[in-house]
Structure 1
């Protein structure tokens, strides 16, 4: 059973950071026994968020990870991107060599930020030998630049190098998706809606309000979204709200009433009914069931 917190723990990743950017390479087999024990402890395996965009290049070994109630086994060579909103925990690892880098919004190229929002949630991505070699070389360079703290252009060099590395990863994710210029009108509208939803789900609840932001009718927005995803706009609004509610119920001690307020509902009974309608169980039942 996870250790409950008043709120979901956030790993600030502030150790060894350089003005919003941190990068490191770890070989778990080479760690001292004390550090291995810390990584294998229950506390280290607690669910948490990061305060910035995080990338993990698994160069060797396997990792079992849980991200927003989805379980993955990652086998090298692979890469995975984690959005700051996502709650995750590592449950097991074996013979791991991993490079990781994290960057805040201020240092992230705005174009890349928009692309990362589009691909969230991102599943682990298996890499071809050629791509793995390219990203590994770029990672090695960025790690070296991270260590040049006395260089007068240190931050600029690190920022540019890290963004290049991120662009290489984004490109791999985009290869698996349809290019923007090939999207139909329905797909383009649905994509815009999903972007707006991610940024406004705690404050905007009505399909009509999202339609207004896109300057189209509610009926047309519903047609686009349902044609593209198989579900109407209201379904996606509710799913996004309930995902955040599940995160808080499972990973924190925040009361159901407090969660309702955080998610923009002053009417607690309405929120409770919505949760039950979407999940098939009450919020309290969900919390108790998952903490058994």
Structure 2
């Protein structure tokens, strides 16, 4: 293996969401024993009962009954033990996570710990996830089905974000590269429409471009350029999904005068044209 593999959610689903309920002693399906890898999306676990163990960026994590946990895009992870676990697995395209929720999740950078749900919270989460699963996988989708699924998902993400606000850790306990990575990603969300070059972000953060790149690679495994493109494509997806702007207008809003170049950039990153993406997500 030349590098740590990166798994893309779009290779498995077109709705931006993958959800399943797992039970104790469940046999892995073909291709599910993935080994150490990164994902380009968020993963959430809700443990109803039992125990499970994961390795997250060299730290072994133990999940117990009534716990909620998530894995950030880019974090290296693999399953150690899950044969006694009973709960939910939810993979979510970053597009579907509102910026204020993302800020909560990414504030926990390198330090996220399981959030333990009380009985009421656990019941709420499991009821929501059960309904999401039912609507997402029903044989004959109803009108607005994907929109309904995404709306229900927002409720679950809100509960998760509200819980993790309580677990915010002191920024001083983070390493300098981790602090800088968080500052960069927060700045990126704010400036992605106007700033595209790594040197511009380094200047805004008062560090050298090489040090910023080194820090990002150490913490996330990816370069500054990767995260800039990733955020551009994410913002493009948001505009394609939520707005009525055409592709030319979206390209200009994102700082690209040549909309044909923007369309090629989008297709190269996603393997799908902007209009095809819009059509798939608005089914």
TMscore range, shorter length: 0.5 to 0.7
1:17 CA drift (Å):
2.8
1:205 CA drift (Å):
7.6
1:102 CA drift (Å):
1.6
User: Are the counterparts in 2 of residues 118 and 195 from structure 1 also a CA contact under 8 Å?
Assistant: no
User: Are the counterparts in 1 of residues 24 and 82 from structure 2 also a CA contact under 8 Å?
Assistant: no
Which residue pairs with 2:143 in the alignment?
A: 152
1:46-81 residue CA offsets vs partner (Å, 9 max, x unmatched): 101223111111112111111111111111211111
Q: Secondary structure at the match of 1:57?
A: strand
1:21 CA drift (Å):
1.4
User: Are the counterparts in 1 of residues 132 and 153 from structure 2 also a CA contact under 8 Å?
Assistant: yes
Alignment of 1:7-156 (within 5 A): 7-13=3-9, 17-29=13-25, 31=26, 35-36=27-28, 44=33, 46-121=35-110, 122-148=112-138, 149-156=140-147
1:236 CA drift (Å):
8.5
1:11 CA drift (Å):
2.8
Q: What is the CA–CA distance in structure 2 between the aligned matches of 1:194 and 1:16, rounded to whole Å?
A: 26
Question: Which has the bigger relative contact order, CA under 8 A and spacing at least 6?
Answer: 1
Q: What is the Cα-based RMSD across aligned positions, in Å?
A: 3.9
Q: What is the CA–CA distance in structure 2 between the aligned matches of 1:99 and 1:131, rounded to whole Å?
A: 14
User: Are the counterparts in 1 of residues 9 and 16 from structure 2 also a CA contact under 8 Å?
Assistant: no
Q: Secondary structure at the match of 2:94?
A: coil
Q: Give TM-score, length-normalised by structure 1.
A: 0.58
Which residue pairs with 1:289 in the alignment?
A: none
Q: How many residues align?
A: 209
1:141 CA drift (Å):
1.6
Q: Secondary structure at the match of 1:24?
A: strand
Task: Say yes or no: does 1:242 pair with 2:218.
Answer: yes
1:156 CA drift (Å):
0.2
1:196 CA drift (Å):
3.5
Structure number with bigger Rg:
1
Q: What is the CA–CA distance in structure 2 between the aligned matches of 1:117 and 1:36, rounded to whole Å?
A: 30
Which residue pairs with 2:157 in the alignment?
A: 166
Q: What is the CA–CA distance in structure 1 between the aligned matches of 2:79 and 2:73, rounded to whole Å?
A: 16
